[in-house]
Amino acid sequence: MFDNWEELEKSIESCNKCKLNKGRTNIVFGVGNKNADIMFIGEGPGADEDKEGIPFVGKAGQLMDKAFIGIGINRDNVYIANIVKCRPPQNRVPEKDEVAGCLNYLRNQVILVNPKIIVLLGSTALKNIMGDEHSITKERGILTEKKDIKYLPTWHPAALLRDESKKIEFWQDLKLLKNIADEQKLLI
């Protein structure tokens, strides 16, 4: 584990811990306030993210940004990362060995950010952070606490593009997040 951002970011520059490195254009490490009270964790980069090297800049990210604006969340005040840092082919779900190669990078990001709340975007984030026995359809919108961090699972923004009915629940979850942040005077 690294105790500063420079060393952590340098350690991933030439990562070849899994086969995803062979197809990547860029490592998509993370973006935002490195001292954020709130952190968002998604699944992995898509084509736009791989091209730009920034998480959540494609259609799903643009939808998330619109929700942020509507709720009053400043994207610059939160930290956004993914379970895996390289794009899985055809945006498939990352395989266990790929997740295993990246998970320590993510753990180190969480340690350095030291967020009060982590929003888990989708099933892959939920299962890899909380455990395989968890279900996004059953636990979405339910705040839990583990080791002094609150976790809020919600739909991944890409799921909203496939099923518009999930937008209402996503919106409700972000409103819950905003209310908690306001009550606790967290920067959001």
pLDDT band for position 168 (cuts 50, 70, 90): very high
Tell whether 21 is covered by a domain: no
Tell whether 73 is covered by a domain: yes
Q: What's the mean pLDDT in 73-80?
A: 97
What does the pLDDT look like over 35-52, one tens digit per residue?
999 999 999 999 999 999
pLDDT band for position 18 (cuts 50, 70, 90): very high
- Percent share of the chain, pLDDT over 90: 97
Tell whether 152 is covered by a domain: yes
> What CATH number should be reported for the domain holding residue 171?
3.40.470.10
Tell whether 149 is covered by a domain: yes
* pLDDT value for 78: 98
Residue ranges making up the domain that contains 167: 5-13+27-183
Q: What's the mean pLDDT in 142-151?
A: 96
Tell whether 159 is covered by a domain: yes
Output the 3-class SS for the chain. Answer: CCCCHHHHHHHHCCCCCCHHHHHCCCCCCEEECCCCCEEEEECCCCHHHHHHCCCCCCHHHHHHHHHHHHHCCCHHHCEEEECCCCCCHHHCCCCHHHHHHHHHHHHHHHHHHCCCEEEEECHHHHHHHHCCCCCHHHHCCCCEEECCEEEEEECCHHHHHHCCCHHHHHHHHHHHHHHHHHHCCCCC
Tell whether 20 is covered by a domain: no
Q: How many domains does the chain have?
A: 1
Tell whether 188 is covered by a domain: no
* pLDDT value for 58: 95
* pLDDT value for 142: 97
